[in-house]
């Protein structure tokens, strides 16, 4: 197995401290705080380990405080309800004695029913696009040291933009983005795990879509996720190409809102995502922000 994927799976393999209590560690991806997707993924792992024979179909989270990458995170699970068809869980992520995230999630026993879905946008295949990790040396020389660390960090996912961004001179354009993504290697055949992996990667690329119409260099802004929601519609494989189709219908009052549809390569809509985040126009704002495409 690829080393980067093995490290990610280890990151999501929480230590059970008690029946409803789990502990996780963090991984530095070059951002000033714990990557928001990591906390989302770990919180969903904690909730999933208290549920049998049902898969998560929705989760709603609030980011309350910045996470400290050098300290463990404790996840406390509240078993809110175990019903005939649905199971509800609430998770609080705690660090230094304070909550840094709260999450509610719902699990459903699979059952048949009528179906319809949105149509996947017509975009080039991922094989026709460049890997976003391929950042040229001249760009690396022009960005702050902490930003350079993010670009140089080896990630467990591949990202291929339909319309690659220009990090040096961002142009003003409509708040729409499409990005293909997948794990760098095959993952175990475990649908619950793949949904936790999707929660992890879903925090990439959302909030910076709300910045596209303004053409502002993201490292001069203070940006952080406020809340995050995911609805899982169908079974999915995160180790095969998925298309993240994102748009931002609003930005106001120092907040940006973005929503995303995630499609499998065959066109099936597998998940929907929504996020609101802080976007403060503050020169030198990198100290309180996150890299492009990543969450709080």
Structure tokens at 114: 């009528």
13 given a catalytic annotation: no
DSSP 147-204: HHHHHHSPPSEEEEESS---SSSPPP--SEEEEEEEESS---S-HHHHHHHHHHHTTS
CA 129 to the chain's CA centroid: 21
Catalytic residue among 31, 48, 275, 294: 275
Catalytic residue among 38, 225, 237, 261: 225
Nearest alpha-carbon partner for 72 in 11, 22, 24: 24
Structure tokens at 73: 């995170």
d(CA 232, CA 55): 9
Structure tokens at 89: 């869980």
Catalytic residue among 31, 95, 202, 203: 203
Tell me the β-bridge partners of 158. 182
Give how far Cα 188 sits from Cα of 176, 262, 295, Å. Answer: 33, 21, 26
Would you tell me how many other CB atoms lie within 10 Å of the CB of residue 249? 9
Nearest alpha-carbon partner for 125 in 175, 200, 178: 178
275 given a catalytic annotation: yes
Where in the sequence numbering do the catalytic residues fall?
A: 203, 225, 275
């Amino acid at each position: 197995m690829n080393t980067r994927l093995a490290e990610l799976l280890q990151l999501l393999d929480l230590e059970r401290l008690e029946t409803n209590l789990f502990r996780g560690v963090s991984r530095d991806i070059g951002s000033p705080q714990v990557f928001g997707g990591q906390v989302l993924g770990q919180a969903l792992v904690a909730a999933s380990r208290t549920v049998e024979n049902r898969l998560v179909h929705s989760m709603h989270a609030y980011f309350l405080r910045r996470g400290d990458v050098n300290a463990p995170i404790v996840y406390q699970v509240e078993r809110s309800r175990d019903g005939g068809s649905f199971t509800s869980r609430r998770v609080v992520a705690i660090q230094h004695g304070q909550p840094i995230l709260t999450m509610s999630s719902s699990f459903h026993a699979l059952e048949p029913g009528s179906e319809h879905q949105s149509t996947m946008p017509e975009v080039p295949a991922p094989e026709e696009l460049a890997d976003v990790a391929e950042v040229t040396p001249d760009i690396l020389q022009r960005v702050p040291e902490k930003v350079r660390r993010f670009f140089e960090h080896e990630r467990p996912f591949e990202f291929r933009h339909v319309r690659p961004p220009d990090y040096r001179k961002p142009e003003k354009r409509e708040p729409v983005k499409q990005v293909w993504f997948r794990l760098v290697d095959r993952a175990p055949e475990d649908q619950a795990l793949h949904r936790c992996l999707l929660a992890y990667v879903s925090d990439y690329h959302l909030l910076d879509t709300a910045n596209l119409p303004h053409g502002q260099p993201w490292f001069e802004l203070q940006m952080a996720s406020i809340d995050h929601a995911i609805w899982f519609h169908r079974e999915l494989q995160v180790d095969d190409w998925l298309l993240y189709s994102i748009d931002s219908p609003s930005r106001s009052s120092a907040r940006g809102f973005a929503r995303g549809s995630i499609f499998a390569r065959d066109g099936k809509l597998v998940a929907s995502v929504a996020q609101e985040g802080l976007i403060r126009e503050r020169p030198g704002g990198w100290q309180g922000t996150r890299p492009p495409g990543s969450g709080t």
